[in-house]
Amino acid sequence: MRQPYDGVVITAPVTLPCVRYTNETAHWWIARALKEALQVIDVAPQQLDGLSISSFTLAPDTPVGLTQHLGLTPRWLDTVPMGGASGVAALRRAARAVQCGDVDVVACVAGDTNRIDSFRNLLSAFSRFSMDATFPYGFGGPNASFALIQDAYMQAYGATRADFGKIAVAGRANGLRSPNPVMTRPLALEDYLNARMISDPICLFDCVMPCAGAEAFVVMREDMARAKGLPFARIRSTIERTNAFPDDPMQLRGGWEMDVEELWNMASLGPQDMDLLNTYDDYPVISMIQMEDLGFCAKGGGPAFVGAHDLTIEGTFPHNTSGGQLSQGQAGAAGGYLGLVEAIRQVMQTAGNNQVPNARLACVSGFGVINYDRGLCSAAAVIEGDV
Amino acid sequence: MTDPLAPPPKKDPQKRTNTPVLPPAARSRAALGLAIMAGQGRFALQVCDDCQAIQYPPRDACHKCLSTDLPWRDVDPTAQLIAETTIRVSPEPYFRERMPWRMGAARLTNGPTLNCHIHGEVTRGDTVKMALKLDKAGQGVLIALPTEGSDTMQDDPILRAMSCDPKHRRILISDARSPLALALTEALLAAGAAHIFLGEPEDWRAWPERAEFECRDNVSLLPLDVTDTSSITRLASEIGGKTDILINTAQFTRPGTIMQNDTTFARDAMEVNTLGLMRLAQAFGPTMAARAQDGTNAAAALVHILSAQALAPDAGFGAYAASQAAARSLCNSLRAEFRPSGLRVLTLYTGPVEGDPWFQPLPPPKVTPKALARTLVSALIDGLEEATCGDIATDVFTRWQENALLLEREKTGGGA
């Protein structure tokens, strides 16, 4: 039985609204999110104890160079290159370091820039296998990779486009309630079904918008948070897995399935106890796979489960309560923080217009890094509000 | 069934010719093996020497046992297409010009999942035959082909772009007097070539075989001497803009050892066999490269027929072998120079040709002109960079790949 995360809390959730294109660098975005988080916890940059960074666009710098750039002198520095799984992965690493006393406070920040044409360049150098064996085949980017996954999923389990459309439509409804969504127009199922195809069966409203932005949160000792009078959330359980099920011909399941029992056992909770679920939603199909693999329904039961529930904030199964990346945009690695940062706000009861009434327990999952034909990183956490 | 490719309309001189753009060309060192196999028409992947696991994408260590011994081996190309998509949006200019673009995932029997291009005659669920082809960037890519394709399967646009198919193309054969010229002309016309131009050196000198060309439709004899720069320039200014494939058949052969052969013969061998290719490339290459994506009859390939002696000399052919080796080196340089355009350089290795008077005393096996023409046409259709014709050339090429130094020892009598 794994040791609980006693004495460690999460606080200071920060979301910078995404923008489609920017000339500002990843350094600029990370600095802004970090500044906001440090103001909340009332720590000067020079006094920051620990730092965890996730970014695709810092090159030629690493987080080491970033410390000099930003005038930080941390005694603990981490870099988490797990894409959409970065949020949970950064959280669980920081939490253990704080718990063991290697560090007292860790600011976890993810941020990326997006210049015109930089997405194409980013993809071209994304990974060796994608350079060698994915992009020469039509260069559809992640759209094409997820199209193949969705195509195989639809064949295997009889899902229809409308099943995925329901996730996108509910997400948009949630997103429109948030302060600064990238997607500002309401979406009806009919709009989704009539949308132009991008990479069949993926349509326009299945695809995230590559953006620039940053997200942050802070992990610290519980006694410090109490002393500072900060609201916080606790970690009940976490899992991560890299390169799960390598012999599956197509990715119809992620690493969550390998570790889901441990996730709920460690939390002493079950899926039925959750007040909300925030999945990594760069495409609705992967949200549906997360619902299955995390045990909210059986494998292949995703379409029926989604069909039976209302996924909006006041619905029977609140899902991606800020609208997810499909509404807020995908700011590189910050997309891997978005669901977690929103869940922290939810269980702290500070989600404003997007608040799920009386939310106390949230499940968050991440998914990242299509290295060749599938996402290699998966992670999930259960967090709880201190109320 | 693939829609048959219509003959291209006459080129509109007022329209801008498309600048060649290439599909993504960057590859890791390991992945270059795909291009080597594709260039030879082989379907080969890395196979672990320790545990036999088939590897894909190409890599540096086995994904099953961490062995770093991963030789390239021919593998069963049978696969099942398990997912497909039609890409309609891409940030890459090459694909943007060719949307929509179908690609998919094929599961190799006993092997990994392969992202691949999809031939128009296959669809998800089909059993397919995987092939490695060179794309316009000169890189090896996978395509899922039908196990039994229709007669027009080569007309599929994705496959056509990876091929140098003679169909609807205009072809220049540099030397009509070569013993290969007539067989090549017949084979290329049978493969659907639109027109055959043949260079005629020393057209004042009568030759009885000329009648065989004069009587044919879509065949023209034009003055051309590969040792004469001005004659090449004149012909290039006349037909350079409509030469889609250039096949260099000009050859000068004189047997003789290095110590006893006249250097005049050696110079002539260099003039024809080596510098002739260089002059042709200088006169025709730039225009062909500029027309490498000019529609149905875009310029596709420069073909050079090499003696297998380019790889290792036979005793008694010193200067001739040197001219062949030098020409082979030129072909490698040209490949690099044409890379930005997608124009292909095909080197076809042959043994002694039946009917070539300078190889008359040599024993069989020899290559008949018909067999060479057949090999050349199928190498063009398959889009190869290197092909061999006849037992001698195939044997030499195989041994050269396995161990070039050992081959040299054996050929020069240094071995047991």
Return the H-helix or E-strand segment holding A142.
Answer: helix A141-157
B91 contacts in chain A (CB < 8 Å):
117, 119-120, 123, 139, 141
Q: Is B101 on the interface with A (CB under 8 A)?
A: yes
Tallying the residues shown for chain A, one arrives at: 387
Report chain B's C-alpha Rg in angstroms.
22
**What is the pTM (predicted TM-score) of this model?**
0.94
With contact defined as beta carbons under 8 Å apart, do A174 and A320 qualify? yes
Under an 8 A CB cutoff, do B24 and A131 touch?
yes
Search chain A and give the residue with CA nearest B106.
A249
Q: What value does the mean pLDDT of chain A take?
A: 96
Under an 8 A CB cutoff, do A132 and B28 touch?
yes
Under an 8 A CB cutoff, do B57 and A133 touch?
yes
B103 contacts in chain A (CB < 8 Å):
137-138, 140, 144
Q: Show contacts of B60-63: CB within 8 Å, 24+ apart.
A: B60/B30, B63/A246
Per-residue pLDDT of B145-185, as tens digits, reads: 999 999 999 999 999 999 999 999 999 999 999 999 999 99
**A139, A149, A151 member nearest B95 (Cβ):** A139
- Say whether pLDDT at B1 is over 90: no
Q: pLDDT class for B416, splitting at 50, 70, 90?
A: very low
pLDDT at B414: 61
**Cα A255 to Cα B50: distance, rounded to the nearest angstrom:** 29
Mean pLDDT, to the nearest integer, of B382-403? 96
Per-residue pLDDT of B206-242, as tens digits, reads: 999 999 999 999 999 999 999 999 999 999 999 999 9
Tell me the H-state helices in A182-237: 189-194, 222-228
Per-residue pLDDT of A88-117, as tens digits, reads: 999 999 999 999 999 999 999 999 999 887
A147 contacts in chain B (CB < 8 Å):
85, 87
**Cα B104 to Cα A373: distance, rounded to the nearest angstrom:** 10
pLDDT at A215: 98
Cβ-Cβ contacts under 8 Å between A and B: the total is 117
Q: Of B96, B79, B76, B74, which Cα lies nearest the Cα of B87?
A: B96
Search chain B and give the residue with CA nearest A128.
B28
CA A266 remoteness from chain centre = 21
Under an 8 A CB cutoff, do B101 and A138 touch?
yes
Label residues A360-375 b or e (16+ Cβ within 10 Å = b): bbbbbbbbbbbbbbbb
Q: Which of B56, B88, B109, B114 to mutate to test the interface with A (most CBs of A within 10 A)?
A: B88
Tokens of A52: 């965890």
**Cα A210 to Cα A330: distance, rounded to the nearest angstrom:** 5
A122 contacts in chain B (CB < 8 Å):
none
Mean pLDDT, to the nearest integer, of A347-353? 97
Under an 8 A CB cutoff, do B91 and A137 touch?
no
A144 contacts in chain B (CB < 8 Å):
85, 87, 103
Under an 8 A CB cutoff, do A197 and B87 touch?
no
**Cα A166 to Cα A255: distance, rounded to the nearest angstrom:** 24
- Say whether pLDDT at B102 is over 50: yes
pLDDT at B409: 86
**A120, A143, A152 member nearest B83 (Cβ):** A152
Q: pLDDT class for B13, splitting at 50, 70, 90?
A: confident
Per-residue pLDDT of A298-331, as tens digits, reads: 999 999 999 999 999 999 999 999 999 999 999 9
Q: For residue A132, how many other CB atoms are within 10 A of its CB?
A: 25
Per-residue pLDDT of A132-171, as tens digits, reads: 999 999 999 999 999 999 999 999 999 999 999 999 999 9
A119 contacts in chain B (CB < 8 Å):
91
**A129, A133, A148 member nearest B104 (Cβ):** A148
**Cα B235 to Cα B230: distance, rounded to the nearest angstrom:** 9
Query: A357 exposed, middle or buried (CB, 10 Å; 0-12, 13-18, 19+)?
Result: exposed
Mean pLDDT, to the nearest integer, of A40-68? 97
CA distance A16 to chain B (A): 27
Q: Of B123, B124, B125, B122, which Cα lies nearest the Cα of B148?
A: B122
DSSP per position, A293-336: HTTSS-TT-HHHHHHHS--STTSSS-BSTT-HHHHH-B-GGGHH
**A124, A143, A151 member nearest B26 (Cβ):** A124
Q: Is B84 on the interface with A (CB under 8 A)?
A: yes
CA distance A59 to chain B (A): 19
CA distance A165 to chain B (A): 18
Per-residue pLDDT of B280-339, as tens digits, reads: 999 999 999 999 999 999 999 999 999 999 999 988 899 999 999 999 999 999 999 999
* Farthest-apart Cα atoms in chain B, separation: 70
Search chain A and give the residue with CA nearest B30.
A132
- Say whether pLDDT at B279 is over 80: yes
Q: What value does the mean pLDDT of chain B take?
A: 95
- Say whether pLDDT at B412 is over 80: no
* Farthest-apart Cα atoms in chain A, separation: 56
Q: Is A116 on the interface with B (CB under 8 A)?
A: no
Q: For residue B47, how many other CB atoms are within 10 A of its CB?
A: 19
Q: Which residues contact A338 (CB under 8 A, 6 or more apart)?
A: A15, A87, A215, A322, A324, A325, A328
Phi, psi dihedral angles at A128 (to 5 degrees): -65, -45
A200 contacts in chain B (CB < 8 Å):
85-86, 88
Mean pLDDT, to the nearest integer, of B78-98? 96
Q: Is A132 on the interface with B (CB under 8 A)?
A: yes
Under an 8 A CB cutoff, do B83 and A143 touch?
no
Per-residue pLDDT of A224-243, as tens digits, reads: 999 999 999 999 999 999 99
Q: Of A340, A338, A357, which Cα lies nearest the Cα of A275?
A: A357
pLDDT at A251: 97
Tokens of B225: 């001497």
- Say whether pLDDT at B415 is over 60: no
Expressed in angstroms, the distance from the first to the final Cα of chain A is: 26
Under an 8 A CB cutoff, do A249 and B28 touch?
no
Under an 8 A CB cutoff, do A199 and B89 touch?
yes
Q: Is B157 on the interface with A (CB under 8 A)?
A: no
Residue B198 carries which side chain, given as an amino acid letter? L
Mean pLDDT, to the nearest integer, of B366-370? 96
